[in-house]
A and B are shown apart, each in its own frame.
Chain A
Amino acid sequence: MKLAISIAGQTIDSPFDARFGRAESFCLVDSDTGAWTVHANPALSASGGAGVQAAQFVAKLGAQAVVSGAYGPKAYDTLSAGNIQRFLAPGNEARSGADILAAFRAGQLTEADGTTHGGHHGG
């Protein structure tokens, strides 16, 4: 499965970034083979609607699931419209994209069942 993990950095060993819309980048990894690529998040500088933009971006990358710390309501809706699964990982532990991948493979991540924060950014 193609997984997009929000990270702060350039490689799969970069730290996990708990924010979705405002994550620095996304690590796109094939959970079967472990092959990965990193893509800068174009929504980082958005003045509004960052979650929507990031959700469309990972959809275009072909992700089938995402892992982040929290999803705003609009990002959540956009991801679910694209049939992309949304997994949650706690943001207050220091860990890397690779750790997240391991947790995903071990079935330790829970699926978000709704929006996890207000995510209001003004407009």
Chain B
Amino acid sequence: MMQIVIASGKGGTGKTTVATSLAQVAAERGAVRFLDCDVEAPNAALFLHPVLETHRDVGIRVPRVDAQACTYCGKCAEVCQFHAIAVVGKKVLVFDDLCHGCGSCTWHCPEQAISEHLAVTGVIDSGTTPEGIAFAQGVMNVGQTMGVPILRELKQWTPATGDAPPSTSLRASGALEIRDAPPGASCPVVETMRGADFALLVTEPTPFGLHDLKQVAAIAHDLGIPAGVVINRDGIGDAAVGTWCADRGLPILLRIPMERRIAEAIASGQTLVDAVPDYRVGFQELLERIVAGVNP
């Protein structure tokens, strides 16, 4: 299965707009699985309208100490790199929000006094869209700090047999996975991109857009993932993004002009290809170019 990540660096450049339209045209030619990896602000469902039937709590495995067995030796606190477990006097404290769920304390406790429990940090919702796209999103709970464990779980998600359209199989060679990445350029973006076959970088032609595009292009480069660029709101700002891409040999695969009717349609929850069907062809060509580029 071919995996395409849609990323942007700067938020609000139209990443989800591109990802959802691409998924819709892709669904016309084969099986598609869509993962909304923006666990802090997942929005793709607002456009693709999946029926989310399945909800699974996810999180990290945090230690719980059996006070009967514990001898307060302090070994767990010593091995924990994140100071998530503290031993003072005759007490052991665990701070779930500092814990990374690495398991070191469990393995090193000489009394086997530690067991692990799931600390829920979010949920994975999944289902199918009207077009038959197998859809899943990770949603981080408010007040949580670590989105990456949710992302790792989300990437493992496979539709239950009942979810997938019966006529198509996601294992087929033509099947496609589309991941909508979070904004920014830190750890969660890397985790979303890791293992993908292609990174489609959505930007806008402004100095902010260019600055943040450079960051995310650097990640794709470091991970050895081929990349191409979509310029959204073409016509505002300046030509610096185009010049930079040309210098870097990054192909510009699609330009979406700044049009008020597009902005209005997307604001109300329509996808781009639904709102302006003229773009269907543009997205079909975009998809063909990506697929051809990855499997020459």
Asked whether the complex places CB atoms of A and B closer than 8 A, the reply is yes
Q: Which residues of A contact B (CB under 8 A)?
A: 43, 46-50, 52-53, 55-56, 59, 74, 77-79, 81-83, 120, 122-123
CB contact between B145 and one of A50, A83, A122 (< 8 Å): that residue: A122
Q: A74-B98, A78-B93, A123-B100 are in contact. Are A50 and B83 (CB under 8 A)?
A: yes
Instruction: Report how many A-B pairs have Cβ atoms within 8 Å.
Output: 52
- A47 cross-chain contacts in B, Cβ below 8 A: 82
Interface status of B97 (Cβ within 8 A of chain A): yes
B72-97 contacts to A, CB under 8 A, are 77, 82-84, 86-89, 91, 93, 95, 97
Cα distance A48–B82 when bound, in Å?
Answer: 6
- A49 cross-chain contacts in B, Cβ below 8 A: 82-84, 95, 98
Interface status of B146 (Cβ within 8 A of chain A): yes
> Is the beta-carbon distance between B97 and A56 smaller than 8 angstroms?
no
CB contact between B83 and one of A52, A81, A120 (< 8 Å): that residue: A52
> Least Cβ distance of A43 to chain B in Å?
8
> Is the beta-carbon distance between B89 and A52 smaller than 8 angstroms?
no
A-B contact pairs, 12 of them (CB 8 A): A43-B83, A46-B83, A48-B83, A52-B84, A52-B86, A52-B93, A53-B83, A59-B88, A78-B86, A81-B86, A120-B145, A123-B97
> Least Cβ distance of A36 to chain B in Å?
23
> Is the beta-carbon distance between A123 and B91 smaller than 8 angstroms?
no
B80 nearest in chain A by CB position: A49
- A78 cross-chain contacts in B, Cβ below 8 A: 86, 88, 93
> Is the beta-carbon distance between B82 and A59 smaller than 8 angstroms?
no
> Is the beta-carbon distance between B97 and A82 smaller than 8 angstroms?
no
- A120 cross-chain contacts in B, Cβ below 8 A: 145
- B95 cross-chain contacts in A, Cβ below 8 A: 49, 52, 74
> Is the beta-carbon distance between A48 and B89 smaller than 8 angstroms?
no
> Is the beta-carbon distance between B145 and A123 smaller than 8 angstroms?
yes
A59 nearest in chain B by CB position: B88
> Is the beta-carbon distance between A81 and B82 smaller than 8 angstroms?
no
- B83 cross-chain contacts in A, Cβ below 8 A: 43, 46, 48-50, 52-53, 56
